[in-house]
């Protein structure tokens, strides 16, 4: 590492397919000791494979504000939350009597 160079640690949190060639990748990064969440469009096309300039980064202290903002957007747009599907009931194994 060179003098003045900043160390970046990246942990992939998830991805969301946007179309056939683009994916929104969400990473947690540690940039010079500050944790951030990076939302970045990545492409996989014949011309280019990798991250693009499309995206944004939030410090962790802004994440809850962002999540609240998204919840308000969903409400304004009339998007209902998905209902959780009940988990299947597991049958208990019983011993056979001989």
Q: Who wins on pLDDT, 6 or 36?
A: 36
Which range among 1-15, 65-79, 82-96 shows the weakest confidence by mean pLDDT?
Answer: 82-96
Sign of CA dihedral 19, 52, 29, 64: negative
Strands 8-17 and 22-31 come out as antiparallel
Q: Which of 4-8, 22-26, 39-43, 58-62 is predicted with the least confidence, judged by mean pLDDT?
A: 4-8
Longest CA pairwise span in the chain (Å)? 76
Task: Write down all domains in the chain, each with its CATH number in brackets.
Answer: 1-60 (2.30.31)
Q: Does residue 38 surpass a pLDDT of 90? A: yes
What's the pLDDT at 3? 61
DSSP 5: P
Could you tell me where the DSSP H helices lie in the chain? 60-77
């Amino acid at each position: 590492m060179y003098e003045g160079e900043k160390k970046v640690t990246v942990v992939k949190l998830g991805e969301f397919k946007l179309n056939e060639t683009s994916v929104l990748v969400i990473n947690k990064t540690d940039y010079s000791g500050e944790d951030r969440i990076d939302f970045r469009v990545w492409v996989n096309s014949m011309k280019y494979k990798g991250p693009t300039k499309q995206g944004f980064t939030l410090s962790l202290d802004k994440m809850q504000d962002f999540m609240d903002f998204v919840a308000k957007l969903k409400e304004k747009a009339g998007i209902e939350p998905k209902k959780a599907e009940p988990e299947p009931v597991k049958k208990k194994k019983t011993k056979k009597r001989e």
